[in-house]
Amino acid sequence: MEWTPTSWQSKNVKQQPTYPDAEELERVVDELSRLPPLVTSWEVESLKAQLAEAAAGKRFLLQGGDCAEVFDECESSVIANKLKILLQMSLVLVHGGKRPVIRVGRFAGQYAKPRSSDLETRDGVTLPSYRGDLVNGFAFTEASRRPDPQRLLRGYERASLTLNFIRSLVDGGFADLHHPEYWDLDFVEHSPMAAEYRRIIDTISDSIQFMETLAGRLEGAIQRVDFFTSHEGLHLLYEQAQTRRVPHRPGWYNLATHMPWIGMRTADLDGAHVEYCRGIQNPIGVKVGPSMTPEWLAGLLVRLNPRREPGRLVLIHRFGHDRIADCLPPLIEIVREAEQPVVWCCDPMHGNTQKTQSGIKTRRFDDILAELEQAFDIHRAMGSYLGGVHCELTGEDVTECTGGARGLDEESLTHKYTTFVDPRLNCEQALEIAMLVARRMAQTAERPAAVTAAGHSTAAA
Ligand code: PEP
Ligand code: CO
């Protein structure tokens, strides 16, 4: 089966905008195809190698960020706060879980959103749905909702500005483990979890000091931690335009992001998104929801990873706390039968979305925790390894999900509800999740599993 960066165009393609001006679209895609890449193939390969270790139970993936990034929030404080909360979470995970953590942001390109309907009606007026800043504007006016090709360039530029700032912060010592105080978010002082977090930081600082007394100043890994980028590879012209060959490596790379993922609404076996993703060398995430049958998943595994390359596939399951017990086990079984070395990653957010009585989209913290807890239990019972967690979160102190240590209630949701699409964990709730995950990781670390070549845990259930 011949593959090219444009072969997806002959397939059934879902969730794409209809642009009024086809010629302008073509000019923009052409321009985007000539602009320099945002990431490099060696970074992509480095992530794949780390994910291969996560598939084998030796690392843990932390993937998180906004549901939808917006152009207006491409600001230093928003980006820095997102890095801070991801750094804090990863520190908690490394400390409690005793495994290296792979940090992957939902950032620098998370600008396109799938929608359940092409159109939205308000007070008798019908306009195209908001499909993310890469496509159109959020404001409910005809001009703003019209899909605008120039937004593809604006999105690429915003992604590039975001990544440039992240790289500078990381290189400049922001992520230096000698200075975890750089990552403090205001909430730490007031949070019910402050004491536990402080204790973790102190333990880590003591350990570093001890090692440095013994061996001299530790350079390298202590001063610099890596961040990778990811976004839903939804807008296929955007992805296609950044798909390149590189010198001295075979194949094609998506160089707009390290790890694109296929959303649940576009994972059709014969659809355009699967066709596009099968031909690139990047690690690929696949969202797996309650509608995914074992046969369908088996088909995806063959199509997306025919050579069973470790680190190539991350299966991000998102069933909901009330469905995971039924839905997950048959899928673990099919992956085992196929001898596929995948990373299993739990997204406890997207299956637990609900509306309050007053119509606000929210998620209950207890439902999120309950899905995560079950994910650990089920993988453990089936001798498989839960190798990651995928969360919608922000470094800001928003009020979008209810519950958590401070017991945010439905009435408080309106205080700071700023998401454009799905409700995110605020920084405190995100840290609380990290603490729970770290505790569960510590339990799996107690029984290190032998791992077969195909990446399956052989530990007894
Ligand atoms: C998302 O991750 O924001 C999303 C739309 O997820 P899913 O495809 O799992 O519904
Ligand atoms: Co979302």
DSSP for 380-410 reads HHTT--EEEEEEEB-SS----SBBTTTTB-G
313-325 exposure pattern, b = at least 16 Cβ within 10 A, e = fewer: bbbbbbbbbebbe
Asked if residue 356 lies in contact with residue 346, where contact means CB atoms within 8 angstroms, the answer is no
Measured in whole angstroms, the distance separating CA 356 from the mean position of its chain's CA atoms is: 26
- Assess if residue 275 is contained within a domain: yes
pLDDT of residue 456: 41
Rg value, the chain, Cα: 21
How far, in Å, from the CA of 350 to the mean position of ligand 2?
Answer: 6
Q: Where are the beta strands (DSSP E) in 193-257?
A: 228-232, 243-245, 252-254
pLDDT of residue 449: 47
Asked if residue 322 lies in contact with residue 294, where contact means CB atoms within 8 angstroms, the answer is no
Going by alpha carbons, the residue nearest to atom 3 of ligand 1 is 67
How far, in Å, from the CA of 109 to the mean position of ligand 1?
Answer: 15
- Assess if residue 433 is contained within a domain: yes
Q: How far is 135 from 112, CA to CA, in rounded Å?
A: 7
How far, in Å, from the CA of 422 to the mean position of ligand 2?
Answer: 5
Of the candidates 265, 284, 32, 243, the one whose C-alpha atom is nearest the C-alpha of residue 155 is 32
- Residue partners of 336: CB distance under 8 A and separation at least 6: 384, 456
- Assess if residue 193 is contained within a domain: yes
The stretches in the chain having pLDDT less than 70 are 187-188, 218-224, 445-461
Of the candidates 87, 50, 101, the one whose C-alpha atom is nearest the C-alpha of residue 169 is 87
| Phi-psi sector, 395: left (phi>0), alpha (psi -120 to 50), beta | alpha
**DSSP notation for 52-87:** HHHHTTS-EEEEEE-SS--GGG--HHHHHHHHHHHH
Q: Residue 362: which domain range?
A: 7-446
Q: How far is 215 from 233, CA to CA, in rounded Å?
A: 45
Q: What are the residues whose beta carbon lies below 5 Å from ligand 2 (ion)?
A: 67, 422
- Residue partners of 122: CB distance under 8 A and separation at least 6: 140
Going by alpha carbons, the residue nearest to atom 2 of ligand 1 is 67
Q: Which atom of ligand 1 is nearest to the CA of 265?
A: 8
Going by alpha carbons, the residue nearest to atom 4 of ligand 1 is 263
Asked if residue 261 lies in contact with residue 285, where contact means CB atoms within 8 angstroms, the answer is yes
Q: Which atom of ligand 1 is nearest to the CA of 67?
A: 3
Q: What are phi and psi of 361, to 5 degrees?
A: -75, 125
Q: How far is 284 from 48, CA to CA, in rounded Å?
A: 9
pLDDT of residue 202: 87
Ligand nearest to the Cα of 265, by number: 1
The torsion defined by the Cα of 164, 165, 170 and 175, in degrees rounded to 10, comes to -160
- Assess if residue 195 is contained within a domain: yes
Among 111, 115, 350, 361, the mutation site with the greatest number of ligand 1 atoms within 8 A of its Cβ is 350
Q: Please state, as a whole number, how many other Cβ atoms lie within 10 Å of the Cβ of residue 148.
A: 22
- The two beta strands, 125-128 and 119-122, are antiparallel
Asked if residue 284 lies in contact with residue 313, where contact means CB atoms within 8 angstroms, the answer is yes
- Assess if residue 73 is contained within a domain: yes
Asked if residue 362 lies in contact with residue 355, where contact means CB atoms within 8 angstroms, the answer is yes
Using alpha carbons only, what angle is made at residue 284 by residues 279 and 285, rounded to the nearest 5 degrees?
145
- Assess if residue 459 is contained within a domain: no
How far, in Å, from the CA of 350 to the mean position of ligand 1?
Answer: 6
- Residue partners of 354: CB distance under 8 A and separation at least 6: 361, 362, 363, 364
Among 318, 349, 389, the mutation site with the greatest number of ligand 1 atoms within 8 A of its Cβ is 318
Element (H, E) at 210: helix 194-215
- Assess if residue 455 is contained within a domain: no
**Pocket of ligand 1 from Cβ distances under 6 Å:** 67, 114, 263-265, 287, 318, 350, 422
3 by DSSP, 3-state: which?
coil
Asked if residue 321 lies in contact with residue 364, where contact means CB atoms within 8 angstroms, the answer is no
Ligand nearest to the Cα of 106, by number: 1
Beta-bridge mates of residue 345: 316, 388
Q: Residue 197: which CATH number?
A: 3.20.20.70
How far, in Å, from the CA of 51 to the mean position of ligand 1?
Answer: 21
Ligand nearest to the Cα of 422, by number: 2
- Residue partners of 366: CB distance under 8 A and separation at least 6: 403
Q: How far is 139 from 426, CA to CA, in rounded Å?
A: 24
Name the percent of the chain in helix, strand, coil, to the closest 5: 45, 15, 40
- Assess if residue 368 is contained within a domain: yes
Domain tally for the chain? 1
Q: What are phi and psi of 443, to 5 degrees?
A: -65, -40
